[in-house]
């Protein structure tokens, strides 16, 4: 195999390692905070972005709209997100954090979230 081919295989193996590390992190995160990774990222996105539509949230999270809608519904059902009808377009729903959502994010911010080594290295952190 050529040197270029070896690099491609090595890259593929690194991606596999990252994929596994993300899965491991997602399981630990859910067990510790009672949130899926998508739910946590949605709360973080709302904290930074303020009031956003479902489409804006889907885009920011890199999710298809049906999946984003399920994630929104999940955190909304637990009182972490509130919705209101848009003023400019009354067909549009806008979502924002509630005090419960801010509290959930505060718990994550205060904790040592313990990234797996491969994931910490990929995002440039020393094991967060």
d(CA 14, CA 121): 11
d(CA 63, CA 75): 16
Counted domains in the chain: 1
Q: What token pair was written down for 26?
A: 């997602």
Q: Does residue 127 lie in a domain region?
A: no
d(CA 64, CA 61): 9
Number of CB atoms found within 10 A of residue 15's CB: 11
Checking if the pLDDT of 128 tops 60, the result is no
Domain range for 56 is 3-122
Give this prediction's pTM: 0.83
Q: Does residue 19 lie in a domain region?
A: yes
pLDDT tens across 85-112, in order?
A: 988 888 889 999 999 999 999 999 998 8
CB 14 within 8 A of CB 104: no
CB 111 within 8 A of CB 32: yes
Q: Does residue 128 lie in a domain region?
A: no
């Amino acid at each position: 195999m050529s040197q270029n081919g070896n690099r491609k295989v090595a890259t593929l193996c690194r991606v596999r390692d990252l994929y596994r590390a993300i899965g491991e992190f997602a399981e630990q995160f859910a067990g510790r905070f009672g949130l899926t990774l998508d739910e946590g990222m949605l709360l973080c996105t709302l904290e930074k972005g303020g009031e956003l539509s479902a489409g804006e949230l889907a885009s920011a999270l890199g999710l298809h709209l049906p999946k984003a809608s399920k994630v929104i519904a999940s955190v909304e059902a637990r009182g972490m997100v509130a919705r209101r009808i848009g003023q400019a377009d009354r067909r549009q729903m806008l979502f924002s954090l509630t005090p419960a959502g801010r509290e959930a994010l505060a718990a994550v911010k205060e904790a040592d979230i313990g990234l797996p080594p491969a994931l910490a290295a990929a995002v440039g952190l020393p094991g967060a």
